[in-house]
Amino acid sequence: MKIIFVILVVLFLLPLQMLFRFSLGNISLNLEFSIILIIFIGFEFGLFEGLVSVAVLSLMLEASSAITPFSTLFVGCFVFVTIYLLMDQFYTEAYVTKALWVGFLTLFIKFLYGFVLYREVAHLDKVWFWEQLFVQSVINALIAIPSLLFLDRSLSFWLTKTSRKKAQITGADYFVSKSKQRRYL
């Protein structure tokens, strides 16, 4: 059910991410909900369902834009596994701390894109590349707090509405069911 939740959230947030783009000279900024979603998945999901969710998220992003195939899949899975393995070191319930981690991991992801995947077009020697890197991480950290609140609340609502209900059996009900079983044996 969590994977279906991620698909629905991506379908909701992807148009917002593509709609809000800002250009200030050489610097182009946007609202990157994808990084926030990867970090949210890293904090909330298990290993298998998290990797599947990050793969679905990355492939949906690649299908909707002109990104090199499997580049966001590689980076997204790498960041998810990093969060999953190091969660004990920086896991916290505070949204401000998670927002700071969003800013830091945005720097890391953009740095990884610039140095590993798009080295020839990243303009690493230009000042505006580094300005864009830091401003984008600040923007992501600022929008992370309301986004993480929304994602936490909607995930808990989604799971309560779509999960199977557990039966509340009392001791008397258990005794009656065992008695009927013995009678038929």
Please provide residue 52's backbone torsions phi and psi, each rounded to the nearest 5 degrees.
-65, -40
Structure tokens of 15?
A: 């148009």
At 161 the pLDDT is 82
For residue range 160-181, what is the model confidence (pLDDT) as tens digits? Answer: 888 776 666 666 666 666 665 5
For residue range 7-31, what is the model confidence (pLDDT) as tens digits? Answer: 788 777 777 776 777 666 666 667 7
Lowest mean per-residue pLDDT among 27-41, 97-111, 145-159 = 27-41
Burial of 108 (0-12, 13-18, 19+ CB in 10 A): middle
- Distance CA(93)–CA(137), nearest Å, equals 21
pTM to 2 decimals? 0.67
Residue corresponding to tokens 């998810």: 80
pLDDT band at 53 (very low <50, low <70, confident <90, very high): confident
Residue corresponding to tokens 């995930």: 155
Domains of the chain (ranges; CATH) run 2-184 (1.10.1760.20)
Q: In terms of DSSP bridges, do strands 21-24 and 27-30 run parallel, antiparallel, or are they unpaired?
A: antiparallel
